[in-house]
Amino acid sequence: MYADFQNEIYLNGLTDIVPSLPTDLTRLEPLAEKKLSREAYDYVAGAAGTGDTARENREAFRRHRLVPRMLAGHTTCDLTTSVLGETLPAPVLLGPVGVLRQLHPDGELAVARAAEKMGVTMVLSTAASYTLEEVAEAAGPRWYQLYWPNDRDLAISFLERAKAAGYTALVVTLDTFMLAWRPHDLDNAYLPFLRGLGNQNYFADPVFSAAAGDNPILHWASLFGNPSLTWDDLVFLREHWDGPIALKGIQDTEDARRAVDAGMDGIVVSNHGGRQVDGAIAALDALPPITHAVGDQIDVLFDSGIRSGADVVKALALGAKAVLVARPYAYGLALAGEAGVRHVLRCLLAETELTLRLSGHGDVTSPSLEILQNVT
Ligand SMILES: Cc1cc2nc3c(=O)[nH]c(=O)nc-3n(C[C@H](O)[C@H](O)[C@H](O)COP(=O)(O)O)c2cc1C
Ligand SMILES: O=C(O)C(=O)c1ccccc1
């Protein structure tokens, strides 16, 4: 899927790179800030509380250092990996981000088209601003992220629709059964959430519509979260979803063990990009003890703070099988639509490959990839 990076750059030019966009992905955010409305920008860039955990997510990447190895003799680098029973061409996925139509009129459709062209899996949010059926028409590889509503029939309907539309795996987000204290959104009166754009999958649902009455947004707000859920409820998901299931938002080793005991196929070690519990542990710091405890029993994925190929390699070195990226591609979408999302993926994948090769690795599972220093 990905031409070897050197061939790509010398023989073809670097395809998918948008010349007007920076190739250092941390520089997308200030550009997006200039382009987007205040509330749309704040919605994406914002975090819970004082932003302490969001900052700490990035600091943790600075503390962990790669130790490059020399004379390893690899002439190629194989990025292929296997996650939740699927072969992925590279250990990177597009993580779930709700309400993308706030950032670009094509929203999730543009992301799905970029995913299809790059062969990268998109994880579609329950809070998407296009329906899951519309997004499926772009025909890219796709998983479905579930915000588990507090209505069983609606949950079943979501799962059946996702299955019918070709979503192959389920990512169940556990850390957002209500929205945290988010000063950015509070100060903007929650406009991004209240415009109804993130409710398309609810509005399009026959179970939802039958009960919505004349204030569907209020009905949505009453159904969105499900704070009463416990580990025992995972049986329900197994009954209604026959594909692989990953739990997103795991930060504790004991919770990771419970996911294994519950027969889950994967977990996503994540603190939701610092958007939920301000003061929570940096996601990268949560990763090593979890992969140590359960990495051989369940697929461990990671997100929260990935901004470069070097970050991808660090997460892999700490035991993740693949990573999800969120804000960088949201900014790429805001700045250049589908082409902006492809740009972000190309930068991430090319730098991941270069970092691996220059560190002496020929593939993503090489044992020496574990060499890493924690600088405190
Ligand atoms: C604007 C925005 C919307 C998000 N919406 C969702 C969502 O609908 N479902 C979900 O599981 N996670 C959602 N997330 C969390 C991301 O999937 C991811 O866990 C988080 O942003 C960390 O990755 P990052 O540091 O690459 O942004 C959202 C994140 C952002 C920034
Ligand atoms: O903003 C978020 O982090 C998020 O997960 C979400 C939840 C509901 C609707 C849109 C986004």
Does the pLDDT of residue 239 top 90, yes or no? yes
Q: Which of 64, 184, 219, 272 is catalytic?
A: 272
Residue spans of the domains in the chain: they are 16-362
Please give the average per-residue pLDDT across 292-307, as a whole number: 98
Contacts with 19 (C-beta within 8 Å, 6 or more apart), sequence order? none
pLDDT at 361: 96
Active site residue 272: yes
Q: Can you tell me the distance from the alpha carbon of 281 to that of 56, in angstroms, rounded to the nearest whole number?
A: 8
* Pairing of the two strands 170-173 and 322-325: unpaired
Instruction: Number of helices (H) and strands (E) in the chain: give both, helices first.
Output: 17, 12
For 29-87, write each residue's pLDDT tens digit: 999 999 999 999 999 999 999 999 999 999 999 999 999 999 999 999 999 999 999 99
Does the pLDDT of residue 9 top 90, yes or no? no
Tokens coding 177: 């059964």
Q: Is the ipTM of this complex over 0.95?
A: yes
For 94-143, write each residue's pLDDT tens digit: 999 999 999 999 999 999 999 999 999 999 999 999 999 999 999 899 99
**153-160, long-range: CB < 8 A, 24+ apart:** 153/207, 154/202, 154/205, 154/207, 154/208, 154/223, 155/236, 155/240, 156/207, 156/240, 157/205, 157/206, 157/207, 157/208, 158/126, 158/201, 158/205, 159/237, 159/240, 159/241, 160/240
What kind of fold does domain 16-362 have according to CATH?
TIM Barrel (3.20.20)
Ligand 1 atom with minimal separation from the 145 CA: 11
Please give the average per-residue pLDDT across 148-174, as a whole number: 98
pLDDT at 320: 98
pLDDT at 198: 86
Does the pLDDT of residue 271 top 60, yes or no? yes
Tell how far the Cα of 43 is from the centroid of ligand 2, in angstroms.
9
Smallest CA-to-CA distance from 272 within 53, 40, 76 is with 53
Tell how far the Cα of 317 is from the centroid of ligand 2, in angstroms.
29
* Pairing of the two strands 86-88 and 81-83: antiparallel
Please give the average per-residue pLDDT across 298-326, as a whole number: 98
Does the pLDDT of residue 11 top 60, yes or no? no
Tell how far the Cα of 341 is from the centroid of ligand 2, in angstroms.
19
CA–CA distances in Å: residue 223 to residues 144, 203, 218, 363: 18, 12, 9, 44
Please give the average per-residue pLDDT across 195-213, as a whole number: 91
Contacts with 102 (C-beta within 8 Å, 6 or more apart), sequence order? 40, 43, 129, 192, 195, 197
Query: Using a 6 Å cutoff on CB, does residue 91 contact ligand 1?
Result: no
Does the pLDDT of residue 1 top 60, yes or no? no
Q: Can you tell me the distance from the alpha carbon of 363 to that of 201, in angstroms, rounded to the nearest whole number?
A: 39
pLDDT at 3: 59
Please give the average per-residue pLDDT across 168-190, as a whole number: 94
Smallest CA-to-CA distance from 114 within 357, 329, 358 is with 329
